[in-house]
A and B are shown apart, each in its own frame.
Chain A
């Protein structure tokens, strides 16, 4: 209560500002797209499910069709400004700007609603009246939506399955989510990756500039300086879907630009002059998934070249952290340049994953160091080339990775899609959590952990704690999400359990989960008797795992729970055990 009293002493302006900030936070949660169920192979989407998705699709420019973002068209029609250009000071948060944004959102929602109910013509006409949007422009937008809406109602997956079994040709198709790339429709196709020599695309490189700026400025705002080194997790997933935004981010951190050869393939880099860059070159330790390594073999070489290029620049140490860190390590440990300059690491060739997820899921670790060392054991294989130009092909270089991680102050991973969040799968905590734990051990300090959220009109950088709160609020604790899952019965319970387990993974690797998250999970799914009974009926095995995971969180000190709550959880756990074993 003392906190509240403190707030009441705020000035009127401070109070207004705090209200606006809370509005922002609430609307960020409210408007985040979440899956509200699972797909069943071959089943078409239901009309009612499409409105929010189509609105999101309409919120982006579609250069390939000439369609511009609908909210932008509306904002222009109304002569209001809702977005901030990347290089200018953002619009001050104000009641006025918030109202403008709400107005644009409401009109966008209404326009898409009208489109679904009455068709393109009606929606265009309405938009012209309500927001003075040029019909030529709005028609382009609805043409995109029309196509998607029709494709969503016509699922051919089972046909493709039957055709494939008859040995017919299955068309290839790109892989992404619909918002990123509507041409993933129709599904039922043989998904492909991208040509590694096309990466990063010009667009990806341009988008990465803004993101890297946000990332570095956020770190500076919180820590007073740029990170001496940053550990970057690179995956195939987002780099395929974004044509290499993660790769481009690495290049921007180092301060280099990609060069294309006469065949239009990215095969080299050149340094951006410091005066143009306007900040120091950041040292980047890249821990790369086995999948990225396989799919982007040529890019692995490019990233190593970028590091070597920056390391060779004759620049002052305060402007070139790569060179500074390499020098420091060579002097401190009498290690050769070649070893000190290794920055691109992945699994041993032919192997995948950090196993940190296996160890966490299977509760097989005791000390923090075990997870840190496991990450390094699995990821300490260097790629690139040696001084003689020979491919390294994954040379075991444990000391080199440990040495590079020892100077890291921040860890980071690019997230491209709302569809695969950091509590949806165990791979985010095994990689970003794993590398953060390894940094913590090598540098004796927990790094700042950041994630980007590139798939919104204005890309954002969040800390891992913020991201977990957002994921928890929009998914795990959100009735819209879990009721959607529970419609799928057995599998739905497993999904809920899996979200809790993945959240737990962030405690294990990054100590990034607030107590309240576990408390509310317990209250929502276990201590609510009706809910518990539903879970127990649908999938007693996953219900048991969920309770066991909560108890483990408390046991390992990740959750300061009240003793009484733990007692109740223990009783419930025993009851579930008995029921599964057939005792009760």
Chain B
């Protein structure tokens, strides 16, 4: 009996596993009982037991696919294994990987490592004279050059991925004219496999496997198969879970959306209340989009319309331009309408019209059709996974002036592993899909779905989707609600807790800063009361009723334990660590105290501290478990009692973002997530502290507004130091040894009074080198 064929697929991401599993079942049923498709996610470094498994699979496989692997460590371990089993493996097909892996492609006579040389050879020695062959030769030449580029280095910066996709779209047609035999056979096969892969519909993935089996499994059952050309899907389009098909134009989407609006929903594509979502194409094509669907539905459930655009993900600008921006020639915009918009701006609506010059010099105006953009790709806005062109991203987004959010799907770890882990999102994804989008100005770094241990395609994390959706709705309220109705909580810090430290912040004078902010808010039309001066603001905050509660600041609200428990469903978890509410901190007479001062629609609050003061046992714990009741009550007050639309933290830095929980990619049981809740969080933060600031961005969803560090000057000399300097100068200026001796005595006396003894002062390179033996 013939040995069962085996294919190993080493891939990265969440879109391929489901179609692979489906293809395995279908092929096994129709053609080859016993076919096995072994698939491994190579997105994160493998451990030893996983490597042993992979090695066993590789040793038994006739065909190996390596797809999207860009992890240097995995690549460097994989390459020797591919070489070790090269006699068993009849084909190694490497697609979209790093150059050193691309060079491992081996299919019959095709060797990627040598391809550029072969491409030239094909050009030089045509195998026939017919026009057909000439075309094939030219194609082979271009393909050869492309392969060479793939095998050598990264693609050039700035090249349009869509252009490349369009070229690829034409490939199937071109490939039909390439002979199935001879030296181009294997190159043709590679490109055919690649074409199937680029449109990873279940049928295409099945045919990709069958084509490989047909040519490289040496198995008669496959050799006679006739395979259809790849199914084709548009490169960019709008997707919607309720729609029967993809939309290739915004107009088509709009008419569907509005018809639907009449029937099922009240949602209209009002640019002020529409969220643009960027989705990854393979997930849509392969049908692995349950997580997208859930998020889209969650956003719509909050009353926001959506435009979910499939992005090429190498450059999101194209999808944005096409679907998120209304383009009109400038002349169409009448003077009066522009003036009307200007008036609107003055009255407090946001300016949305952006004029710009297109590449060909034609003036157009781009009016956003969306008021927020959420990337669900997790990758950089321009450049995809391989690189990031943040300058281009920022230029585009600045021009559009629509906030950019980026949420991440757990694609190289399972939902179960994420739940169990205190790290949260693993370092590979945190590096690529959090740190890099941040450089584009992305905010709201949520995890919204991912692969489960048993499933083959990504699932939504329902509560995360809801949280994102509600936060988008809160942000939207800041965009559209009349300013006079918007409520804001400004939070200042106090560490160590002591009246004198109220307004703790690195390099910032907090009360004058808050006073400036309040004044600006009033000028912008927010209904806030501005005290006569920064001093008055401080005196009212620190004074008030604070004496009667022995509190640091005025008590703005006393929360009963009953109300607290109602507002904070997680309060019982706090009981376990801090005792039954209200506990000893920020409490008085059985109630929890919220310290702050209400100034119209503004609340200026004092954030409680960690609560370790006077409690060495708490400090001695290796892990903190929870914030104290007073801390939780403070944020519950802001969101649910005061009813803030946004919280603004003032100064570097507070305790919220350092509360226990995952490092990044927080869950509903992480404390910062629970505390900040649904509130947009602005954080006035020192520009010279990008590290702690990044923690605030990731763990409390803060958007930082950087502030300048204070003026600096030379320290100069003063008092005895100035006198010493004078003496030293005098010594150096005279040549009279007698005078010098006298001066020296004064110098030593002065130096002694300044405590400049023999060991004082710094040792720079000069001194070290003087003291160092020469042979080092």
Contact = CB atoms under 8 A, between A and B. Distances in A.
A40 B509 contact: yes
Contact of A34 (B401, B538, B663, B713): B713
A390 interface: yes
B397 A169 contact: yes
A24 B98 CA distance: 53
Contacts of A466: 760-763
B453 interface: no
Interface stretch (B47-55, B117-125, B301-309, B590-598): B47-55
- Which of the listed residues B371, B400, B520 has the most CB atoms from chain A within 10 Å of its own CB? B520
Contact of B619 (A188, A262, A374, A394): A374
A506 to B, nearest CB: 16
Contacts of A279: 776
Nearest to A45: B711
Interface string B751-767: 11001100111111111
Nearest to A39: B710
A364 B612 CA distance: 10
A140 interface: no
A131 interface: no
Contacts of A263: 70, 72, 98, 154, 386-387
B718 interface: yes
Given A161-B520, A171-B441, A26 B717 contact: yes
Contact of A40 (B427, B498, B512, B756): B512
Interface in A419-472: 419-420, 424-425, 453, 458-462, 465-467, 469-470
A295 B694 contact: yes
A396 B712 contact: no
A30 B728 contact: no
A494 B422 contact: no
A191 B693 contact: yes
A297 B772 contact: no
Contacts of B75: 261-262
A160 B704 CA distance: 10
Interface string A336-370: 00000000000011111101001101101100000
Given A240-B691, A389-B47, A541-B498, A188 B705 contact: yes
A173 B398 contact: no
B140 interface: no
A420 B713 contact: no
- Report the contact-size class of chain B (Cβ under 8 Å from the partner): 35 or more
B761 A8 contact: no
Contact of A19 (B398, B622, B705, B744): B744
A184 B697 CA distance: 18
A41 B513 contact: yes
B763 A461 contact: yes
B398 A39 contact: no
Contacts of A460: 762-765
Given A168-B401, A235-B691, A263-B72, A15 B744 contact: yes
Contacts of A51: 713
Contacts of A385: 47
Interface stretch (A406-414, A477-485, A551-559, A561-569): A477-485
A36 B431 contact: no
Interface string A380-406: 110001011111011010000000000
Contacts of A3: 748, 752
Interface in A505-559: 514, 516, 539-545
A443 to B, nearest CB: 22
Interface in B688-704: 688-695, 697-698, 703-704
B422 A36 contact: no
Interface residues of A, number: 178
A7 interface: yes
Interface in B422-470: 422-423, 426-428, 430-432, 435-436, 438-441, 443
Interface string B605-616: 000001011101
Contacts of A420: 506, 688-689
A193 interface: yes
A218 B768 contact: yes
Contact of B501 (A42, A166, A353, A542): A542
B435 A161 contact: no
A71 interface: no
Interface string A166-196: 1111111111111000001101111111111
A207 interface: no
B126 interface: no
A39 B708 contact: yes
Contacts of A462: 762-763
B572 interface: no
A187 B710 CA distance: 12
B343 interface: no
B173 interface: no
Contact of A184 (B153, B401, B706): B706
B662 A291 contact: no
Contacts of A169: 397-398, 400-404, 441
Interface string A269-291: 00000000011000000000011
Interface in A227-267: 235-237, 239-241, 260-265, 267
B229 interface: no
Given A193-B694, A297-B430, A460-B762, A177 B47 contact: no
Given A37-B711, A268-B73, A297-B430, A262 B751 contact: no
A36 B690 contact: no
Interface stretch (B18-26, B108-116, B474-482): B474-482
B47 A187 contact: no
B180 interface: no
Contacts of B73: 267-268
Interface stretch (A62-70, A90-98, A121-129, A311-319): A90-98
A35 B706 contact: no
B715 A187 contact: no
B717 to A, nearest CB: 5
B65 interface: no
A52 interface: yes
B390 interface: yes
Nearest to B749: A4
A52 B718 CA distance: 17
Nearest to A462: B762
Interface stretch (B214-222, B247-255, B284-292, B679-687): B679-687
Contacts of A453: 762
Contacts of A19: 728, 731-732, 744, 747
Nearest to B715: A474
Interface in B5-64: 45-51
B76 interface: yes
A260 B616 CA distance: 46
- Which of the listed residues B99, B507, B749 has the most CB atoms from chain A within 10 Å of its own CB? B507
A12 B731 CA distance: 12
A442 B692 CA distance: 31
- Which of the listed residues B430, B435, B475, B614 has the most CB atoms from chain A within 10 Å of its own CB? B435
Contacts of A458: 764-765
Contact of A165 (B478, B506, B704, B713): B478
A301 interface: yes
A87 B451 CA distance: 54
A424 B510 CA distance: 17
Interface string A198-226: 00000000000000001001101100000
A542 B500 contact: yes
Contacts of A542: 498, 500-501
Nearest to A160: B705
13 contacts: A36-B713, A39-B507, A161-B684, A164-B705, A187-B706, A195-B439, A217-B769, A221-B772, A267-B73, A295-B435, A350-B623, A478-B715, A488-B509
Given A195-B431, A543-B500, 14 more contacts: A4-B752, A7-B744, A30-B716, A33-B713, A39-B709, A53-B712, A95-B732, A195-B435, A218-B768, A298-B428, A377-B621, A377-B622, A489-B535, A541-B499
- Smallest CB-CB A-B distances: 3 pairs: A175-B690, A297-B427, A541-B500
